[in-house]
Amino acid sequence: MTLQPDPQDITRLRVAVGRLHRRLAQRTSGELTFAQISALVTVEKHGPIRQGELAAREKVAAPSMTRTVGGLMEAGLVEKIPDPEDGRSCHIAVTPAAHALLDKVRSERAAMLSERAARLTPDQYATLVAALPVIEQLAEEDD
């Protein structure tokens, strides 16, 4: 028998995750967009990476990624490096400035979550921690 999630519960989860996501995204340092931060994180995790692969991982069209990477290059956060296997191609890599920026963004976001978690009751905090594996599973599943 398969579980039939209650639509109201699913709506509550979607709204809560969306609001939390927006509040975290607002903790982004500087003038970078959500797309730029997301691309930086992906390059940091999977890079050096070809721009086409980066676009695929971010689920955006190539022209959108070209604009995103262009802005990141202008900001000195990524650089193009030659592909060692194909001289006509290049990879995108993060710079030391990007590592520093991402560390700052992560610290700011963690501080916000920590401040909010500190206001929970011990039982609420235990419930949150117990739910983490399920939330992580939902976040990691491919579409």
User: Three-state secondary structure along 110-133?
Assistant: HHHHHHHHHCCCHHHHHHHHHHHH
CATH for 120 = 1.10.10.10
Does any domain span residue 136? Answer: yes
Does any domain span residue 76? Answer: yes
Residue-number span of the structural domain to which 105 is assigned: 32-140
pLDDT value at residue 29: 60
User: Three-state secondary structure along 2-22?
Assistant: CCCCCHHHHHHHHHHHHHHHH
Does any domain span residue 17? Answer: no
Does any domain span residue 15? Answer: no
Q: What is residue 65's three-state secondary structure?
A: helix
Mean pLDDT by 10 residues, the chain (143 residues): 89 93 78 89 94 94 95 96 85 96 92 95 96 92 74
Structure tokens at 24: 């975290």
Structure pTM?
Answer: 0.79
Does any domain span residue 3? Answer: no
Does any domain span residue 122? Answer: yes
Count up the domains in the chain and report the number.
1
- Of the candidates 83, 106, 120, the residue with the CA atom closest to the CA atom of residue 28: 106
> Look-up: residue for tokens 């639509």?
7
Does any domain span residue 7? Answer: no
Does any domain span residue 129? Answer: yes
